[in-house]
Amino acid sequence: MSDSAALVIVGTGLAGYNLAREFRKLDKTRELVLISADDGRFYSKPMLSTGFAKGKSAEQLVMQEAGSMAAELNARIMTDTRIERIDPVSKTLHWQGGQQAYGELVLACGAHARALPGAEALADCLLSINNLQDYARFRALLGERQRVLIIGAGLIGCEFANDLAAAGIQVQVVAPDAQVMPGLLPAAVATAVQSGLESLGVRFYLGRAVTELQATNAGLEALLDDGQRLQADIGLSAIGLIANTRLAMAAGLTCGRGIQVDRHLRSSNPQIYALGDCAEVAGLNLMYVMPLMAAARALAQTLAGNPTALNYGPMPVMVKTPACPLVVSPPVTSSEGEWQVSGSGADISAQFHDPQGVLHGYALSGSCVAEKLQLNRQLPPWLA
């Protein structure tokens, strides 16, 4: 079979590799090519925020090498290949020194960490962890040092705060928001999570903006808007992710918060698909594992000749904050309604109901996470 009929997947993260695995269950023979900007090793990205407490090096988080994945998938995997442009007319990918034709193309490009203004000038004093290489670099630079300043108190910031503090690191978290995980948790649940992290020694500076960051002989100093100065050996920026849409936009594909695709994961170009963190599916850009896995299964069917529309059932997010167990199903199907909260201390059950009393989401902490299965049965699908 010629290159011009190949199925080409750009990206070898959870989205790209899981799509390839699902596709190979249905089609054993079609030419399959995966192109990776890095070394193509397979690992689970969610494990990056549990590695410190477990004492795991980057190497220990790797599940399979690229060569092993290529053999498993009967695929050609091109590593360390950074695509420069897509030519949708000739159906060809181009990079320095090479090109690859495709019959159908899937963009599984993921997302990149949102950068703080001026972060580049701080070099190794302020990093983000968004992939295995970032994790390895952060661990190497942290070394035996004991103080980390995390900027951002969202889901990722809290997960890393828990992981680092559980590994014995002194953690400070600063964010302009009044609570942790704003927009995801109601205040009572946020308070429970914050208290759990504080029990590990994490110190929070919420409602505070960083007005200046500078490298010092000791590491990093942050000046807050109330005049406080925080000292750390190294900083970790966790202020969110941005879908990787550069290639898609340059190729003329319609993009919003991500590469806009329909429920068959097809972009505005009928031969180009997208899934995972880089995709905006029917208006939803959901950077969680369960939507990604559902998308991989549906798209594999479509690519194998059985067009399958993507459905999202209830998809709770298990947040990795063992200091305060937490599961959240955000109310993505309704913005009108209110949270109804019960419980106390670490054990909070918050349920989001619309004006008609229909449950659209929940946030459960502590022992209340046991309510998850019961509540899932009451939730409407996220996408049906």
Contacts 24+ apart (CB under 8 A), 84-92: 85/247, 85/250, 85/251, 86/247, 86/248, 86/250, 86/251, 86/272, 87/251, 88/251, 88/252, 88/269, 88/271, 88/272, 91/4, 91/271
- Between 317 and 123, the higher pLDDT residue: 317
pLDDT of 33 higher than 80:
yes
The CB density around residue 214, as the number of other CB atoms within 10 Å, is: 12
Q: Do domains 115-237 and 325-376 have the same CATH topology?
A: no
The CB density around residue 317, as the number of other CB atoms within 10 Å, is: 19
For the residues 70-90, what does the mean pLDDT come to?
97
- pLDDT bracket for residue 218 (50, 70, 90): confident
pLDDT tens by residue, 252-292: 999 999 999 999 999 999 999 999 999 999 899 999 999 99
The CB density around residue 137, as the number of other CB atoms within 10 Å, is: 15
pLDDT of 344 higher than 90:
yes
Taking the C-alpha atoms of residue 269 and residue 119, their distance in angstroms, rounded to an integer, is 36
Taking the C-alpha atoms of residue 205 and residue 151, their distance in angstroms, rounded to an integer, is 10
For the residues 108-127, what does the mean pLDDT come to?
91
pLDDT of 2 higher than 80:
no
Token digits of residue 342: 């019960």
What class is the 325-376 domain? alpha beta
Taking the C-alpha atoms of residue 184 and residue 364, their distance in angstroms, rounded to an integer, is 12
For the residues 319-323, what does the mean pLDDT come to?
98
Q: Which fold has domain 115-237?
A: FAD/NAD(P)-binding domain (3.50.50)
Token digits of residue 113: 């960490």
Please report, for the chain, the start and end positions of each structural domain, with discontinuous segments joined by +. 3-112+241-303, 115-237, 325-376
Taking the C-alpha atoms of residue 171 and residue 149, their distance in angstroms, rounded to an integer, is 6
Say what the pLDDT of residue 227 is: 97
pLDDT of 3 higher than 80:
no
pLDDT of 1 higher than 70:
no
Region 3-112+241-303: CATH code: 3.50.50.60
pLDDT tens by residue, 94-112: 999 999 999 999 999 999 9
- pLDDT bracket for residue 13 (50, 70, 90): very high
Token digits of residue 64: 């399979």
